[in-house]
Amino acid sequence: MLKKKWTALLAGAAMAFTVNAAAATELTIFWAEWDPANYLQELVNEYTAETGVTVTVETTPWSDFQTKAFTEFNAKGDAYDMVVGDSQWLGAGSTGGHYVDLTDFFNEHKLAEVMAPATVKYYAEYDGKYWAIPAEGDAAGWAYRKDWFEDPKEMEAFKAKYGYDLGVPEDYKQLRDIAEFFYRPDDKKYGIAIYTDNSYDAMAMGIESAVFSYGGDLGDYSTYKVDGIINSPENIAAVEMYKELYGFTPPNWGKVFFQEDNQAITENLAAMSMNFFAFFPALDNPALNPNAANTGYFANPKGPSGAQHAALGGQGISIVSYSQNKEEAMKFLEWFIRDDVQQKWADLGGYTCSQAVLKSEAFRNATPYNEAFYQSMFMVKDFWAVPEYAELLTAMNNRLYPYVVGGEGTAKEALDGLAADWNATFKKYGRM
């Protein structure tokens, strides 16, 4: 009798220990240091409240993000259970064995139908399989000073000079005209702010937006052919336009990214400013932007042929293959993709990739920039996602930065050189 009672007590203690162990489970998500990561931490606190599982969003500055992540991956470390990785990482993350194959999960939950098509293609898929769940949608867009655009005297002067009404630019020609019109260095007033930082992918993404809208492309992603594509007449014209726009930027604008481009609006420097939508919430905050009430937003404009695209930003969330908590991480993803959670993600300021949420009137009218974001997420295109993407990106920066910012050579010479660089890289990795 005593033995049975003791056995029962031991069984009960073991069960309690199991429950407590499960409740004590912790998950770590690694991401770059920016506002969306703060929104994600706020969101996952609700998961903790529901399940008892503590989820920590660990961050590091953007400049260290790629290096720190892949250092841990290559060491097969288990410091991170999940990573919200850049779309370009899919090739390296999957072929390197760093990401868990989520194809069955993706198909079971019909995520190809649930998420916006571009986010599935660029945030999740590589080589016919799925390695991430679309998490933070993002695209390059524009902020502008509505009060400058709507000033009657400015409107009258603009129409007298260019022959059409001053307003949100419909194409790159109008974008260029408006940038020129507001470029008044003697008044410390400038036409436009664009990305020029060449340390990672900032300038490349700015140029991509022009290239894609000019009807160009970076290459044939299925055959790795780049000759006649990256250095096409369309791309040459797009890069020439980007350089021309650089001529209407504020002083010392030769190595800037999102922080400076937001400052172009908050500090009354420029009429228009390129940035990713993830950075626009700061411009809508009067505490951060004294011009918040007079700041408007628009999607990347069309090119000369009518094509309209924007460079893709944003990330998908992947399970790290070296995690000791893969089963719990999978449960977290099941929670994250729920319709109600995606709505909360959007409400907090995260950019959901859920088609249902994106298309809803509530979302599109929730902020001054959501409508432009909605439009953008159905026309985005992305950089190469091959494992050697970093080498391709470095070559692009090395070729185009001296032309755009330094005024060296011609756009054709820069793109011909880039085609040669990329051919050499693809041959080195046996893709050609």
Is residue 5 pLDDT above 90, yes or no?
no
pLDDT at 24: 44
- How distant, in Å, are the alpha carbons of 167, 195, 401 from that of 161? 14, 28, 32
Strands 133-145, 270-276: pairing is antiparallel
Confidence of residue 1 (pLDDT cuts 50, 70, 90): very low
* pLDDT class of 19 with cuts at 50, 70, 90: very low
CB 401 within 8 A of CB 239: no
Model pLDDT, residue 413 = 98
Bridge partners, 145 (sequence order):
295
Average pLDDT over residues 252-264: 97
pLDDT one-digit tens code per residue, 305-341: 999 999 999 999 999 999 999 999 999 999 999 999 9
- Asked if 78 and 322 count as a contact pair (C-beta separation under 8 A), the reply is yes
Residue 274: the pLDDT is 98
CB 169 within 8 A of CB 224: no
Pick the CATH number of 24-138+313-381 from 3.40.190.10, 3.40.630.10, 3.40.50.970, 3.40.309.10: 3.40.190.10
Reported as a single tens digit per residue, the pLDDT across 213-234 is 999 999 999 999 999 999 999 9
Residues 370-406: tens digit of each pLDDT: 999 999 998 999 999 999 999 999 999 999 999 999 9
Closest CA to 415 of 207, 253, 206: 207
Instruction: Give the sign of the dihedral formed by CA 371, CA 375, CA 377, CA 378.
Output: positive
> What pLDDT sits at residue 25?
87
Instruction: Give the pLDDT of residue 10.
Output: 40
Q: How far apart are CA 200 and CA 299, in angstroms?
A: 23
pLDDT per position as a tens digit, 401-430:
999 999 999 999 999 999 999 999 999 999
Question: What pLDDT score was predicted for residue 21?
Answer: 40
Spatial contact of 405 and 254, defined as CB atoms under 8 Å apart:
yes
Please, which residues have CB within 8 angstroms of residue 149's CB and are 6 or more apart in sequence? 155, 166, 167, 168, 271, 296
Dist CA 375 CA 378 (whole Å): 6
Alpha carbons 84 and 70: distance in angstroms, whole number: 13
Measured from the Cβ of residue 6, the count of other Cβ atoms closer than 10 Å reads 10
- Are the CB atoms for 411 and 230 separated by under 8 Å? no
Residue 59 pLDDT exceeds 50: yes
**Displacement of CA 171 from its chain's centroid (Å):** 22
**How many Cβ atoms from other residues are within 10 Å of residue 102's Cβ?**
23
On whether the 141-311+387-428 domain is CATH 3.20.20.70, my answer is no
Tell me which amino acid residue 4 is: K
Average pLDDT in the 221-248 region?
98
- Give the pLDDT of residue 229: 98
pLDDT at 63: 85
Please say if the pLDDT value at position 23 is more than 90: no
On the question of pLDDT at 2 being above 80, the answer is no
CA–CA separation, 399 and 333 (whole Å): 40
Q: Which segment of 3-17, 295-309, 310-324, 358-372 scores lowest on mean pLDDT?
A: 3-17
3-state SS string over the chain?
CHHHHHHHHHHHHHHHHHHHHHHCCEEEEEEECCHHHHHHHHHHHHHHHHHCCEEEEEEECHHHHHHHHHHHHHCCCCCCCEEEEEHHHHHHHHHCCCECCCHHHHHHCCHHHHECHHHHHHHHEECCEECCEEEEEEEEEEEEEHHHHCCHHHHHHHHHHHCCCCCCCCEHHHHHHHHHHCCEHHHCEEEEECCCCCCCCHHHHHHHHHHHHCCCCCCCCCCCCCCCCCCCHHHHHHHHHHHHHHCCCCCCCCCCCHHHHHHHHHCCCEEEEEEEHHHHHHCCCCCCCCCHHHEEEEECCECCCCCCCEEEEEEEEEEECCCCCHHHHHHHHHHHCCHHHHHHHHHHCCCCCEHHHHHCHHHHCCCCCHHHHHHHCCCEECCCCCCCHHHHHHHHHHHHHHHHCCCCCCHHHHHHHHHHHHHHHHHHCCCC
316 burial level (CB within 10 Å; 0-12, 13-18, 19+): buried
> Would you say residue 81 has pLDDT above 90?
yes
pLDDT at site 43: 98
Which position has the higher pLDDT, 204 or 2? 204
Domains 24-138+313-381 and 141-311+387-428 share a fold: yes
% of the chain with per-residue pLDDT over 70 = 94
**Residue range 265-296, pLDDT digits in tens:** 999 999 999 999 999 999 999 999 999 999 99
pLDDT score for 403: 98
When pLDDT is averaged across residues 138-167 and rounded to a whole number, the result is 98
Angle between helices 35-51 and 339-348 (to 10 degrees): 140
Mean pLDDT, to the nearest integer, of 50-76?
96
Per-residue pLDDT band at 40 (split at 50, 70, 90):
very high
Question: What per-residue confidence (pLDDT) applies to 432?
Answer: 86
Q: Give the integer Cα–Cα distance in Å for 214 and 216.
A: 6
Domain boundaries, the chain: 24-138+313-381, 141-311+387-428
The mean per-residue pLDDT over the stretch 197-203 comes to 93
